[in-house]
């Protein structure tokens, strides 16, 4: 509110001149006040004014990368069969030099224990099980025990202190519908500053550490396929396990947006393309020529990725696979 | 006050009206004088006295002298003139003029006032004798010798010789005319006796009065001047009376602002009354201004503009003004905002969503008493919400805390605990007391657990996990969710020990082998087989647990089980084990060597 105070005086000792001056000043103030009052009385009531702007809440779900890894290795664990060799089983489990190896293994142990308990509870609960069902459950129990035993053995091992490439997975490169090797074409179109990141990703598939691995589960069209990710650089390599130590490399790309309509469609198309090639690929897994060809592609991949690294490192020889 | 001033004005008016009716003695004199004499008509000259002539002429020439003063002077000299002839008066006039206008006037007057006056005058006579031009001296000096009043008159003459000179001239002329009139009368009488048919001689025929008329013209002029002044005065007085009437009308009318006060007082001659009138106008105007101010404030309070201005003052933008106007009166809103601002509340918009001045004051009162801190207030935006009744809750909780814990340490340390719902706080404090854990409140400063719904179950779980000691060392461990505590079971399953130093870290980390929401899926909890039995001799105790083969059981839970089961002779096992989860390992231990 404006200052509407009117001057007051002690009338006892005031002179005529001073009193006239005060009367003049108060009159001026009253004039102003009456004007303001008139304005207020004439001002029409405004319609409802501003409402607080609705804040758009962005829900960002934090990805649990550990759970993604567990999902990946659990899927591997679940593919273990009774007849599988120990070597093959080791290929499915994380390498000991992986940073969170211990955690993954302990979790996998818990998963096995959980499965065992569930089977046991099921058997105890269901009184009227047929014998073939009982046999099936019993086999499941034995399989879980086998997995558990393997894990327990691993837990007894000392952690590895230095780098060891005990695992070396193999790549099979998925062609496009036109017959080109998709990933090699894609690498050519990706800026070279991302090559180091892609190098890391491919190496992690090869050594079994599977950096930032995540299995696709939400979309039926791509379910079961996995990707390794460098979240910081937003680089991804999509792959699928097609053998104990063999991985189909489906596509590689940089991704800026977590969810984008175009990205999902593209991915579905590429994976769909892969699935169409899969039977032929599996047929050729024992074909030495096919495998040799894949090795050449792999070398080409490393060469491409290394060419950037060489430039960055000023001409030093990079690691050859 | 108003009555007094009105009376004063009326009194002043009556003085003025009286003045209007009063005669002007000076005017009356001159009117009367010129009614009696017509200077053009010599026959009227006898109608006036010489004193009157002197008074009229001198006054008409010199306004500084009052009529009374002139009369006084005239009364001193006229009696002397009465005894003289016109010639003698003329001589006297000349001598007076000589003395009064002499260069050595002071000396002359000194001599004339001395005891040697007679000698001085005789000497003077002797000096002037024989000089024809000064033959007036002898008769004049002789008159002077005998009449001291004439000496005094010389002084008067000296002050204005021109006026008094002409005055005496007129006087002399009038005496001359008088003498002539007498002489004419006598002659006419004699002639009429001898020659009755012969017309009588008249004064007009023998005397030309044009010179007298010329000299005396100042008298009628003066009368005109007096008349004019009288008219003017009358007009002024009437104006002043009217001015007072206007002031009276204004003062008697209903309270309105009086703006042309300068005009009202301009025509008033009484300065004291002018000031009193202004004071009364000031008082009236102040009452009027108070009313205007009130109307303005009321209007502001009702108007959107007023509320908007107030909100802008407190930097409240994006606020629903209509809602605020419906919720609060202007004064209440102003009070709320100023109080909140004073204590440093930044988010005023949230605070005023649904509060009241009373609520605000209650909370500030609690703040002043240091029952609640400003940090807690700022961290609890809905503390101002009247519906939530926080002040009552806080006061009730303070009592509860003091009553149950025996001190005020709890809320002095962390005043936010007073915001916990009262029933929950009371319940949890009593739970702590039952578990003999009130004394451990000092082991933590994080009392979040005091607002948990299932604190009892949590404590039981912690005890059953064998962490009684850790709990007494750090009561803040109760802040961890039960699912976090179940991690210990998971780690036990994996044969991973967790000592006291690792406990807090294990419970605290967000990253565990298993997500919290899935922990229960991985626990190997099994039902207790019916065939298990207990060896009572193996039951040991700590202060809060029973321990059977290393497996802890919460004593309070056991007590509750006793009352829950309601049996007269309850089974040991049932009482001990009801409500407790057992891992496979624990079941195996209990089964060992002691089966039914």
Please tell me the distance in Å from A162's CA to the nearest CA on chain B: 25
Under an 8 A CB cutoff, do B274 and A48 touch?
no
- Residue A160 confidence (pLDDT): 60
Average confidence (pLDDT) over A283-310: 87
Share of chain B above pLDDT 90, in %: 57
Under an 8 A CB cutoff, do B303 and A40 touch?
yes
Under an 8 A CB cutoff, do A19 and B279 touch?
yes
Alpha carbons B513 and B492: distance in angstroms, whole number: 13
In a domain, B91, yes or no: yes
- The boundaries of the domain holding residue B463 are 420-522
Domain stops at, among B216, B245, B262:
B216
In a domain, B32, yes or no: no
Q: Which residues of A touch B494 (CB under 8 A)?
A: 106, 109-110
CB B299 within 8 A of CB A40: yes
ipTM greater than 0.90: no
Same domain, B369 and B440: no
Q: How far is CA B281 from CA A22, B135, B267, B270, B274, in A?
A: 11, 76, 16, 16, 11
Please tell me the distance in Å from B60's CA to the nearest CA on chain A: 40
Same domain, A183 and A255: yes
- Residue B360 confidence (pLDDT): 95
Alpha carbons B412 and B197: distance in angstroms, whole number: 146
Same domain, A203 and A255: yes
Band of residue A4 on the pLDDT scale cut at 50, 70, 90: low
Domain stops at, among B216, B251, B274:
B216
- Residue A50 confidence (pLDDT): 40
Same domain, B396 and B536: no
Under an 8 A CB cutoff, do A8 and B286 touch?
yes
Residue A51 has pLDDT above 60, yes or no: no
Please tell me the distance in Å from B522's CA to the nearest CA on chain A: 6
In a domain, B30, yes or no: no
Alpha carbons A169 and A174: distance in angstroms, whole number: 16
Average confidence (pLDDT) over B46-70: 93
Same domain, B60 and B203: yes
Please tell me the distance in Å from B459's CA to the nearest CA on chain A: 26
What part of A 39-68 touches B (C-beta under 8 Å)?
40-41, 43, 45-46, 48-53, 64, 66-67
Under an 8 A CB cutoff, do B296 and A40 touch?
yes
Task: Count the neighbouring beta carbons within 10 Å of the beta carbon of residue B66.
Answer: 13
Residue A165 has pLDDT above 60, yes or no: no
- The boundaries of the domain holding residue A211 are 170-312
Under an 8 A CB cutoff, do A30 and B288 touch?
yes
Q: What is the domain count for chain A?
A: 2
Q: Which residues of A touch B261 (CB under 8 A)?
A: 20, 23
B3, burial (CB in 10 Å: exposed 0-12, middle 13-18, buried 19+): exposed
Radius of gyration for chain A, computed over Cα atoms and rounded to the nearest angstrom:
36
Average confidence (pLDDT) over B463-481: 96
In a domain, A52, yes or no: no
Same domain, A250 and A297: yes
Same domain, B113 and B192: yes
Helix residue ranges per DSSP H, B343-405? 348-351, 357-368, 374-379, 390-405
In a domain, A31, yes or no: no
Q: Which two tokens stand for residue B251?
A: 């003062």
Task: Count the neighbouring beta carbons within 10 Å of the beta carbon of residue A8.
Answer: 11
Domain stops at, among A134, A156, A178:
A156
In a domain, B28, yes or no: no
Same domain, A150 and A221: no
Domain stops at, among A97, A127, A156:
A156
Same domain, B266 and B372: no
- Residue B191 confidence (pLDDT): 82
Under an 8 A CB cutoff, do A26 and B274 touch?
no
Q: Which two tokens stand for residue A95?
A: 């390498």
Band of residue A315 on the pLDDT scale cut at 50, 70, 90: very low
Q: Which residue of A has its CA nearest to B301?
A: A1
Please tell me the distance in Å from B577's CA to the nearest CA on chain A: 21
Average confidence (pLDDT) over B175-183: 86
Task: Count the neighbouring beta carbons within 10 Å of the beta carbon of residue B113.
Answer: 14
Q: Which residue of A has its CA nearest to B512?
A: A103
Under an 8 A CB cutoff, do B513 and A110 touch?
yes
Please check whether residue A19 touches B, CB under 8 A: yes
Residue B275 has pLDDT above 60, yes or no: yes
List, for residues B502-523, the tens digit of each pLDDT value. 999 999 999 999 999 999 999 9
Average confidence (pLDDT) over A118-138: 81
Residue A265 has pLDDT above 60, yes or no: yes
Same domain, A137 and A184: no
| CB–CB contacts below 8 A, A to B | 113
B550, burial (CB in 10 Å: exposed 0-12, middle 13-18, buried 19+): exposed
Residue A313 has pLDDT above 80, yes or no: no
Domain stops at, among A156, A181, A198:
A156
Alpha carbons A153 and A93: distance in angstroms, whole number: 13
Under an 8 A CB cutoff, do A110 and B490 touch?
yes
Under an 8 A CB cutoff, do B261 and A23 touch?
yes
CB B465 within 8 A of CB B488: yes
Same domain, B83 and B191: yes
Average confidence (pLDDT) over B579-587: 91
Same domain, B92 and B47: yes
Under an 8 A CB cutoff, do A106 and B319 touch?
no
List, for residues B9-51, the tens digit of each pLDDT value. 999 999 999 988 888 899 999 999 999 999 998 888 889 999 9
Residue A137 has pLDDT above 90, yes or no: no
Q: Which residue of B has its CA nearest to A8?
A: B286
Q: Which two tokens stand for residue A320?
A: 């050859």
Q: Which residues of B touch A29 (CB under 8 A)?
A: 289
What part of A 92-131 touches B (C-beta under 8 Å)?
103, 106-107, 109-110, 113-114, 117
Average confidence (pLDDT) over B277-303: 87
Higher pLDDT, A262 or B95: B95
Of B289, B295, B496, the CB nearest to A26: B289
Q: Which residues of A touch B296 (CB under 8 A)?
A: 4, 33, 36-37, 40
- Residue A158 confidence (pLDDT): 64
Please tell me the distance in Å from B260's CA to the nearest CA on chain A: 10
- Residue B594 confidence (pLDDT): 58
Under an 8 A CB cutoff, do A66 and B511 touch?
yes
Same domain, A138 and A112: yes
In a domain, B27, yes or no: no
Domain stops at, among B495, B522, B549:
B522
Average pLDDT of the residues of chain B: 89
CB B524 within 8 A of CB A116: no
User: What is the CB-side half-sphere exposure of residue B488 using CA atoms within 13 A?
Assistant: 20
Alpha carbons B230 and B241: distance in angstroms, whole number: 16
Higher pLDDT, A127 or B370: B370
Same domain, B173 and B245: no
In a domain, B6, yes or no: yes
In a domain, B512, yes or no: yes
Residue A317 has pLDDT above 80, yes or no: no
Q: What kind and span of H or E run contains A111?
A: helix A101-125
Q: Which residue of A has its CA nearest to B519?
A: A110
Q: What is the domain count for chain B?
A: 5
Residue A54 has pLDDT above 50, yes or no: no
- Residue A258 confidence (pLDDT): 44
Q: Which residues of A touch B283 (CB under 8 A)?
A: 11
SS3 B532: strand
Phi-psi region of A54 (alpha: psi -120 to 50; beta: other; left: phi over 0): beta
Non-local CB neighbours of A95 within 8 Å, separated by 6+ positions: A101, A166, A167, A207, A208, A209
In a domain, A253, yes or no: yes
Of A16, A45, A67, the CB nearest to B275: A16
Average pLDDT of the residues of chain A: 81
In a domain, B360, yes or no: yes
Same domain, B104 and B197: yes
Please tell me the distance in Å from B282's CA to the nearest CA on chain A: 7
Same domain, B276 and B240: yes
Same domain, B502 and B531: no
Place of tokens 């980390």: B509
Q: Which residues of A touch B587 (CB under 8 A)?
A: none
Average confidence (pLDDT) over B182-186: 82
Q: Which residues of A touch B262 (CB under 8 A)?
A: 20
Please check whether residue A152 touches B, CB under 8 A: no
In a domain, A57, yes or no: no
Same domain, B398 and B454: no
């Amino acid at each position: 509110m404006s200052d509407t105070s009117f001057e007051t005086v002690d009338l006892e000792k005031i002179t005529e001149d001073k009193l006239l001056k005060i009367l003049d000043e108060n009159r001026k103030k009253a004039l102003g006040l009456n004007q303001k009052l008139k304005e207020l009385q004439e001002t029409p009531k405004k319609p409802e004014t501003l409402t607080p702007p609705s804040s758009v809440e962005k829900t960002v779900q934090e990805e649990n990368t550990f759970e993604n890894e567990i999902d990946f290795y659990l899927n591997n664990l679940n593919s273990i069969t009774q007849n599988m060799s120990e070597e093959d089983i080791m290929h499915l489990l994380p390498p000991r030099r992986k940073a969170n190896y211990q955690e993954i293994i302990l979790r996998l142990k818990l998963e096995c224990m959980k499965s065992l308990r569930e089977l046991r509870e099921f058997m105890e609960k269901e009184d009227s099980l047929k014998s073939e069902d009982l046999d099936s459950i019993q086999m499941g129990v034995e399989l879980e025990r086998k997995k558990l035993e393997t894990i327990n053995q691993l837990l007894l091992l000392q952690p590895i202190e230095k780098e060891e490439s005990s695992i070396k997975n193999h790549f099979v490169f998925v062609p496009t519908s036109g017959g080109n090797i998709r990933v090699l074409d894609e690498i050519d179109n990706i800026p070279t500053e991302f090559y180091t990141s892609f190098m890391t990703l491919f190496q992690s598939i090869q050594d079994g550490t599977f950096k930032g691995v995540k299995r696709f589960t939400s979309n039926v069209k791509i379910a079961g396929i996995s990707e390794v990710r460098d979240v910081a650089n937003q680089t991804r390599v999509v792959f699928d396990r097609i053998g104990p130590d063999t991985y189909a490399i489906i596509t590689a790309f940089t991704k800026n947006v977590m969810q984008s309509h175009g990205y999902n469609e593209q991915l579905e198309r590429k994976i769909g393309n892969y699935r169409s090639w899969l039977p032929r690929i599996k047929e050729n897994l024992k074909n030495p020529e096919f495998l040799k060809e894949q090795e050449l592609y792999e070398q080409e991949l490393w060469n491409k990725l290394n060419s950037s690294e060489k430039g960055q490192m000023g001409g030093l020889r990079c690691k050859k696979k | 006050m108003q009555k007094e001033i009105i009376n004063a004005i009326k009194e002043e008016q009556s003085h003025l009206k009286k003045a209007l009716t009063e005669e002007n003695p000076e005017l009356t004199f001159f009117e009367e004088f010129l009614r009696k004499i017509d200077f053009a008509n010599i026959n009227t000259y006898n109608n006036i006295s010489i004193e009157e002539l002197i008074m009229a002429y001198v006054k008409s020439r010199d306004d500084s002298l009052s009529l009374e003063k002139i009369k006084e002077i005239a009364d001193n000299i006229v009696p002397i003139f009465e005894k003289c002839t016109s010639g003698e008066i003329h001589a006297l006039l000349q001598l007076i003029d000589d003395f009064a206008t002499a260069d050595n006037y002071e000396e002359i007057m000194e001599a004339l006032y001395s005891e040697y006056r007679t000698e001085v005058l005789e000497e003077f006579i002797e000096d002037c004798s024989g000089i024809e031009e000064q033959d007036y001296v002898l008769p004049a000096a002789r008159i002077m010798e005998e009449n001291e009043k004439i000496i005094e008159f010389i002084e008067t003459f000296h002050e204005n010789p021109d006026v008094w000179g002409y005055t005496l001239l007129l006087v002399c002329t009038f005496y001359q005319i008088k003498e002539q009139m007498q002489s004419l009368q006598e002659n006419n009488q004699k002639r009429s006796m001898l020659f009755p048919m012969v017309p009588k001689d008249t004064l007009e025929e023998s005397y030309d009065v044009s010179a007298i008329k010329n000299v005396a013209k100042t008298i009628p002029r003066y009368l005109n001047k007096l008349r004019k002044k009288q008219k003017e005065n009358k007009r002024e007085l009437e104006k002043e009376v009217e001015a007072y009437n206007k002031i009276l009308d204004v003062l008697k009318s209903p309270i309105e602002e009086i703006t042309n006060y300068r005009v009202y007082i301009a025509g008033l001659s009484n300065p004291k009354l002018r000031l009193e009138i202004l004071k009364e106008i000031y008082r009236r105007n102040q009452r009027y201004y108070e009313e205007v101010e009130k109307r303005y404030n009321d209007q502001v309070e009702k108007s959107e503009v007023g509320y908007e201005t107030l909100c802008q003052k407190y930097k409240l933008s994006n606020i629903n003004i209509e809602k605020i106007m419906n919720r609060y009166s202007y004064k209440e809103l102003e009070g709320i905002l100023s109080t909140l601002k004073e204590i440093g509340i930044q988010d005023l918009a949230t605070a005023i969503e649904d509060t009241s001045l009373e609520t605000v004051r209650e909370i500030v009162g609690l703040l002043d008493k240091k029952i609640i801190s400003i940090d807690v207030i700022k961290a609890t935006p809905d503390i101002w919400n009247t519906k939530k009744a926080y002040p009552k809750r806080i006061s009730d909780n303070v009592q509860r805390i003091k009553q149950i814990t025996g001190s005020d340490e709890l809320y002095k340390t962390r005043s936010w605990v007073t915001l916990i719902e009262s029933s929950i706080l009371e319940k949890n404090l009593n739970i702590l007391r039952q578990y003999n854990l009130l004394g451990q409140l000092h082991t933590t400063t994080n009392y979040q657990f005091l607002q948990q719904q299932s604190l009892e179950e949590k404590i039981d779980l912690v005890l059953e996990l064998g962490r009684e000691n850790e709990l007494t060392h750090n009561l803040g461990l109760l802040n961890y969710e039960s699912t976090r505590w179940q991690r210990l079971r998971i780690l036990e399953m994996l044969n991973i020990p967790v000592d006291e130093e690792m406990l807090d870290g294990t419970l605290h980390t967000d990253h565990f082998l298993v997500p919290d929401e899935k922990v229960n899926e991985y626990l190997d909890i099994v039902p207790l087989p019916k065939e298990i039995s207990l060896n009572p001799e193996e039951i040991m105790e700590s202060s809060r647990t029973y321990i059977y083969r290393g497996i802890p059981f919460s004593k309070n839970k056991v007590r509750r089980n006793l009352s829950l089961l309601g049996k007269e002779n309850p089974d040991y096992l049932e009482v001990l084990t009801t409500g407790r989860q057992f891992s496979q390992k624990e079941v195996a231990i209990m089964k060992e060597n002691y089966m039914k």
